[in-house]
Amino acid sequence: MLGGLSDRTLRYIADNTCPYTRLFEWGAGESTMAFAERCAFVASVEHALPYYENVKNRLEQERLKNCRLEFKPPVKKVDPDDFNYVSSDYHDHSFEDYVRAIEAYRDEDFHIIVVDGRCRVRCVEAASPKLAPGGLLVLDDAQRYMEMVRAVVGNWECDAWSSGPPRPVWTMVWRKPKSA
């Protein structure tokens, strides 16, 4: 396993990349390196400084210049009753900047978008307009979010697999329809 993504997930993504693939990911790590080696462009957003610094240093060492890595840490919430961009173990912080980092890109700009970080439902919502028709939306640990994400992906074609017992972790990959 590399990073938080299973080998099967990484193989699936690799099988769906080509030299012009543009990929966005929430949650940088070993997968970022693998994506940067295969894709024309990778945009990656990380909230944890140690992960960010590790990936940044590795990208520099490997001279991979096709990756835009951003550090977007959570910020202390101004309104304690605003739960729009919170994460399970950061109740008093907002991940709004982290989630909204994708807004810097044009609609339909990415062929693959990977959600393997914080505020996953909000990330899926933000990803939808940025995903090109026919593009792949990858959600790791999907068992925790399936019902909430269903409103975004509707009846998009889906592949899914799990890590198996004793506590299966599901990965789901939706393909955005080529026409509305």
pLDDT, tens digit, 9 for 90 and up, residues 57-81: 999 999 999 999 999 999 998 887 7
Residue 1 lies in a domain: no
The burial class, CB within 10 Å (0-12 / 13-18 / 19+), for 143 is middle
Q: Identify the CATH number of the domain in which residue 33 sits.
A: 3.40.50.150
Q: Domain residues for 76?
A: 7-175
Query: How many domains is the chain built from?
Result: 1
Q: Which residues of the chain have pLDDT under 50?
A: 1-3
Q: Are 32 and 67 in contact (CB under 8 A)?
A: yes
Nearest to 95 by CA among 119, 68, 117: 119
Residue 153 lies in a domain: yes
Residue 124 lies in a domain: yes
Residue 62 lies in a domain: yes
Both tokens assigned to 68? 């835009």
> Edge to edge, what strands does the sheet with 67-71 contain?
67-71, 41-46, 22-26, 110-115, 131-140, 170-175, 157-162
Q: What is the pLDDT of residue 4?
A: 75
Residue 126 lies in a domain: yes
CA 48 to chain centre: 15
Residue 180 lies in a domain: no
Residue 158 lies in a domain: yes
Q: Which residues of 62-91 are buried (b: 16+ CB within 10 A; e: fewer)?
A: eebeebebebbebeebeeeeeeebbbeebe
Q: What is the pLDDT of residue 80?
A: 76
Both tokens assigned to 179? 């026409």
Residue 120 lies in a domain: yes
Tell me, letter by letter, the H, E, C secondary structure of the chain.
Answer: CECCECHHHHHHHHHCCCCCCEEEEECCCHHHHHHHHHCCEEEEEECCHHHHHHHHHHHHHCCCCCEEEEECCCEECCCCCCCCCCECCECCEECHHHHHHHHHCCCCCEEEEEECCCCHHHHHHHHHHHEEEEEEEEEECHHHCHHHHHHHHCCCEEEEEECCCCCCCEEEEEECCCCC
